Structure 1
Amino acid sequence: MLEVLKKVLRKLFNNNMQVVRFALLMSFLNFVFFHYPFFKFIFENVDYKSLNGIILVISLIIAVLVVNAFVFYLVLYLSRIVGKSLLILFFILNAVSVYFINTYSTIIDESMIGNVFNTNYEEASGFFSFTLILYVILLGIIPAIYIIKTKIVKAPFKKFIATSSLALLFIILLVAANANNLLWVDKNAKQLGGLVMPWSYTVNTSRFYVHKYRSNKKEIMLPDATIKDNEKAVVVLVIGESARMQNFSLYGYGKNTNPFLSQTSNVFHFPATSYATYTTATVKCILEHANTNDLYEILPNYLYRNNVEVVWRTTNWGEPPVHIEKYQTMDSLRQHCEGEGCDYDEILLAGLKEQVLASNKNKVLIILHTSTSHGPTYSKKYPPRFEVFRPVCNSVELGECFPEELINAYDNTIVYTDYILHRIIEELEQLSEYKSTMMYVSDHGESLGEKNLYMHGVPMSIAPKEQYEIPFIVWVSDGSKELKPNEILSQHHVFHSVLNFLNIESPVYNEEMNIFK
């Protein structure tokens, strides 16, 4: 039996294969290995028992096979080395992509590509698992070995032209035959495009860099601002990470996840929504003066240029370019930090009060960009003493955890967030010469298995409320400011509220977006 298998493998690898046959085979393997999520979505959203539904499903199957085969054929004919290299890369990246789609129900659209390119090593390593290795080996490495060993015979030029023309004509006829279904395809283009391999990440990577190039051509400066008084004032803006509103007991959650803030005076909380479901877009939104696709001067840069003391402290990433003197990362803060909290977001508080007192300016803005509730390793985001709710999920494959374990681990990150915010308030209360405020707003929410979705990044057009309903919590010192009877807030309220609290006059200031009286 073993000898027979060896002969079959030897014959398979040693035989010459026509380029068109090889392209069809690669398209078929690509279809079988990587398109279950694609067709799962189709069957969940199409009446596949109706005649039109049957035609649509069959047409999409043929389209995926033929279009991929056509592209593979073109590239392989032009250059077998380049074609094989691309196919190897596609199979490996497809394997990784499908792992994340199957494990976290992600969609590989442009925003998800942005998340990938703005993820650092620490966050990326949190997704490492044995299952991911299996995906890469079985669906990526083994096909890659076959691709390398197979000998491809190039077809005559006339045959290449004839084959290409027929394939192109067939694709055009297929599209024409499905004219009635084009509206459905257009309506679901984001989901379909984010699940078809390898075009989900190739096309969206191109789109990401095109839009990034356009938006970062030049930072658009805002008109100069004026500081209207010499009264000492400090704002601490805390940008939360993946904190969803519904798990804060301040908002009525059944478990006590806010034991400190619930007992603190002058704390106000408002329901809010995020601009998007991924960090790069939402942090930009929190820091900009208006909803725009252009890269305007963001809040820290603007105030720093207009003679405000600005400090940025971060354990996270994904913010727009920050042009200030005091940009402090976890590594730089660690030099002045002691204790177990230095390995977590508490490090952002090290020497915070002393830094304010050391300033020679009367107006101070401190931005703390946290990472407390970022998955999938929620149980590693807080010190052990904050593990209030047990048992907890310790796996990066969230779908393998019991729902209670996953929610417990996540709730513990909210308990830790509550403690950090309480500590900030304590520090500010000691700055008796300053009128002070703390504003906490999360970048986006988080899915914890609802509708079989995990983490975040689902396009806003189809995102569940868990991924965009966020907390907006404000504390003010005695005698400083009163708050308006705000209802639902947005992340754009931050920019104008900070200007108001620091009493800074600006042509771009919008009173309607200010939360203070």
Structure 2
Amino acid sequence: MLARFKTLSVNQFTFIIALYFVCIFNIPLFGVIKNGIEKQPDVDPIFIATMPLFLTFALSFVFSLFTIKYLLKPLFIILTLVSSGVFFAAYEYNVVFDYGMIENTFQTNPAEAFMYVNFASIMNMLLTGILPAYLIYKVDIQYKPFLKELLHKVLFMLVMLAGLGVIAFFYFQDYASFGRNHDELKRYVVPTYFIGAASKYINVRYLQTPMQYEHLGMDAKNVSANPNGKPNLLVLVVGETARSMNHQYYGYDKPTNAHTQDQGLTVFKDTSSCGTATAVSLPCMFSRMGREDYDARRAYAQDTAVDVLDHAGIKVQWFDNDSGCKGVCDQVENIIINLKSDPKLCSGEYCFDQVLLNKLDEALANAERKDTVIVLHIIGSHGPTYFLRYPPEHRKFTPDCQRSDIQNCSAIELMNTYDNTILYTDYIISEVVKKLQYQQDKFDSAMLYLSDHGESLGEKGMYLHGAPYRIAPVEQTSIPMLAWISKDFSQDNHLDMACLAQHAAKGGFSHDNLFDSLLGLMNIKTAVYQPELDIFAGCRG
């Protein structure tokens, strides 16, 4: 668009760049508006027609505040490049860059980020980001003397305000009503919403004075007293991007839990996540706070459930094959898997979760005769490269989607690929259970598995995860939670398994239960323990 002009005035540039952002980067916004219109009868077509004009006037006014010599080109080149990426995520996957997604993005490692690079994303960046950025770099912006330039800028901004005022005069009630009924619209406005979210994250994470660190459960004591003298051993498997509706245990019609079917797992129905992205869910599920009162800044400044276990003298080990523990395990023994550590299981960019089974073998071989909790943070069903989450011998459902631009796969291919990840995770869980069964002469053992969040696979046009929780679909918030408890563990810890099975079938669980369930399962007595949130408390004799 800018290539048509050899020279532009500042105001011409401002209006053209605003028009480009409206016509290209805000296409997903107009898609959401279209969906809203279809659900609302008797919408004035002229009111709808004013929306792109309103947004163009508004962005022109806002952009005018930053069209300053020496700032203009570098700012809008960067803004165009970043907006191109945000646009692609929203257009192809319906991903919204709110505070939670910004937090998740900042905490994404290079290997994880590379999974999103494919032909479609590269072409999008070339066409909607790099090419316009190059034109911005090349265009000759004509600046008038300071006072004259300032006068022209003020007049331009007044004209934009006048345009907004005229539209508001005739359609203020329509905008107010439509906005109230479709609050999610603001989240799709590029670039204002993601800039606001990023600014908030940077302010909270890096600019605010750090909160004073709060230790929790310093009074914690391990009160377990097994009559046979065997210590308790719990392996907690933290899943990644697994949604419950693709598990056979939750009514799915494909055998995605074939490996654990005969191992007697307890299935906790109707379990929901704390967030829709790992950066939110992981610290939230291990914090003392529940989802409703969760505050990320406060969570980073206080002890987690694993810290309280450590205070009680429990040996805690964290092995990570995902993107790190997000601060949860910083104060206990933790190891992030080296992506080049095993040539059979690792490519240098990712490792299959079987690499954690090897770590578990090492931990069990060197285990002390004391109560122990081992956390395995798996990569599970992390997308969009689902096909890289399982080895070829575990490719049971075909045809599958052997590409990262999943929106270009058929629904059957995409679902098969995702189901293969669920089945492979089920295999990992079954192997954990087998290894614990081999340790029953040394430990009273148990396994607990739950995912951090779910995943959208094209339902309602949405892919991946990270949607704002208020508008997140059930596919992103409904998660599996499974438990295996050995006979000796249940007997020595006075846990009624029949009672637990009935309780689990009732449903109504969430990440809010994890903190106290871990403490209760490991017999930790502390003032921060809340038995009403412990999913095992009601079945303990």
TM-score relative to the length of structure 1? 0.90
Residue equivalent to 2:333: 326
Give how far 1:49 is off. 9.4
Contact 2:319 2:359 in 1 (8 A): no
Contact 1:257 1:414 in 2 (8 A): yes
Give how far 1:73 is off. 2.3
CA–CA separation in structure 2 for the residues paired with 1:515 and 1:341: 36
| Aligned pair partner of 2:141 in 126, 147, 152 | 152
How many residue pairs get aligned? The number is 502
Q: CA offsets, 1:261-294, max 9 Å, x none?
A: 1111354443311122111111122212331323
Residue equivalent to 2:223: 228
Change (3 A) 1:253 1:49: closer
Residue equivalent to 1:128: 117
Q: CA offsets, 1:475-505, max 9 Å, x none?
A: 0011322343232211122211111121110
Give how far 1:169 is off. 5.1
SS in 2 for 1:409: helix
SS in 2 for 1:350: helix
Residue equivalent to 1:397: 405
Residue equivalent to 1:30: 21
CA–CA separation in structure 2 for the residues paired with 1:124 and 1:235: 32
Q: Residue 505 of structure 1 aligns to which amino acid in structure 2?
A: K
Residues 486-495 or 416-425, more deviating: 486-495
Q: Does 1:451 align with 2:442?
A: no
| Aligned pair partner of 1:206 in 190, 195, 199 | 199
Residue equivalent to 1:5: none
Give how far 1:252 is off. 2.1
| Aligned pair partner of 2:447 in 433, 438, 441 | 438
Residues 152-161 or 388-397, more deviating: 152-161
Residues 492-501 or 159-168, more deviating: 159-168
Residue equivalent to 1:381: 389
Change (3 A) 1:395 1:182: same
Unpaired segments ≥5 residues, structure 2: 491-495
TM-score relative to the length of structure 2? 0.86
Q: Percent identity?
A: 27
Q: CA offsets, 1:38-92, max 9 Å, x none?
A: 112112102699775435423422221112112222322xx22211111111222
Contact 1:193 1:200 in 2 (8 A): yes
Residue equivalent to 2:493: none
Q: Residue 18 of structure 1 aligns to which amino acid in structure 2?
A: S
Contact 2:319 2:335 in 1 (8 A): yes
Q: Residue 54 of structure 1 aligns to which amino acid in structure 2?
A: P
Q: Residue 19 of structure 1 aligns to which amino acid in structure 2?
A: V
Residue equivalent to 1:69: 60
| Aligned pair partner of 1:514 in 534, 538, 541 | 534
Q: Does 1:249 align with 2:248?
A: yes
Residue equivalent to 1:275: 274
| Aligned pair partner of 1:492 in 497, 512, 517 | 512
SS in 1 for 2:373: strand
Instruction: Describe how 1:41-56 pairs up with structure 2 within 5 A.
Output: 41-46=32-37, 53-56=44-47
CA–CA separation in structure 2 for the residues paired with 1:23 and 1:371: 44
Contact 2:312 2:524 in 1 (8 A): no
SS in 2 for 1:38: helix
Change (3 A) 1:306 1:30: same
Residues 84-93 or 296-305, more deviating: 296-305
Residue equivalent to 1:313: 319
CA–CA separation in structure 2 for the residues paired with 1:56 and 1:457: 32
Q: Residue 65 of structure 2 aligns to which amino acid in structure 1?
A: L
Contact 1:275 1:491 in 2 (8 A): yes
CA–CA separation in structure 1 for the residues paired with 2:214 and 2:50: 47
Contact 1:392 1:406 in 2 (8 A): yes
Give how far 1:102 is off. 1.8
Residue equivalent to 1:188: 182
Give how far 1:134 is off. 1.7
SS in 2 for 1:184: helix
SS in 2 for 1:412: helix
Q: Residue 69 of structure 1 aligns to which amino acid in structure 2?
A: S
Contact 2:387 2:403 in 1 (8 A): no
Change (3 A) 1:117 1:350: same
Change (3 A) 1:22 1:315: same
Residues 256-265 or 300-309, more deviating: 300-309
Give how far 1:176 is off. 5.5
CA–CA separation in structure 2 for the residues paired with 1:215 and 1:240: 33
Give how far 1:326 is off. 1.8
Q: Residue 338 of structure 2 aligns to which amino acid in structure 1?
A: D
| Aligned pair partner of 2:30 in 36, 39, 56 | 39
Contact 2:306 2:332 in 1 (8 A): no
Residue equivalent to 2:12: 21
Give how far 1:142 is off. 2.0
SS in 1 for 2:217: coil
Q: Residue 223 of structure 1 aligns to which amino acid in structure 2?
A: G
Give how far 1:361 is off. 5.8
CA–CA separation in structure 1 for the residues paired with 2:265 and 2:519: 20
Residue equivalent to 1:12: 5
Instruction: Describe how 1:287-306 pairs up with structure 2 within 5 A.
Output: 287-291=286-290, 292-293=294-295, 294-295=298-299, 296-306=302-312
Give how far 1:149 is off. 2.1
Contact 1:233 1:436 in 2 (8 A): yes
CA–CA separation in structure 2 for the residues paired with 1:437 and 1:491: 19
SS in 2 for 1:160: helix
Q: Residue 233 of structure 1 aligns to which amino acid in structure 2?
A: N
RMSD value, Cα: 2.5
Q: Does 1:473 align with 2:482?
A: yes
Residue equivalent to 2:172: 179
Unpaired segments ≥5 residues, structure 1: 1-7
Give how far 1:351 is off. 4.1
Which 4+ stretches in 1 moved above 6 angstroms? 48-51
Q: Residue 283 of structure 2 aligns to which amino acid in structure 1?
A: K
Q: Does 1:103 align with 2:92?
A: yes
SS in 2 for 1:255: coil
Residues 50-59 or 480-489, more deviating: 50-59
CA–CA separation in structure 2 for the residues paired with 1:196 and 1:168: 19
CA–CA separation in structure 2 for the residues paired with 1:92 and 1:454: 22
Q: Residue 447 of structure 1 aligns to which amino acid in structure 2?
A: S
Give how far 1:26 is off. 1.4
Residue equivalent to 1:363: 371
CA–CA separation in structure 2 for the residues paired with 1:280 and 1:448: 20
Change (3 A) 1:131 1:47: closer
Contact 2:249 2:267 in 1 (8 A): no
Contact 2:37 2:43 in 1 (8 A): no
Q: Residue 326 of structure 1 aligns to which amino acid in structure 2?
A: E
CA–CA separation in structure 1 for the residues paired with 2:107 and 2:133: 28
Residues 211-220 or 369-378, more deviating: 211-220
Contact 1:309 1:359 in 2 (8 A): no
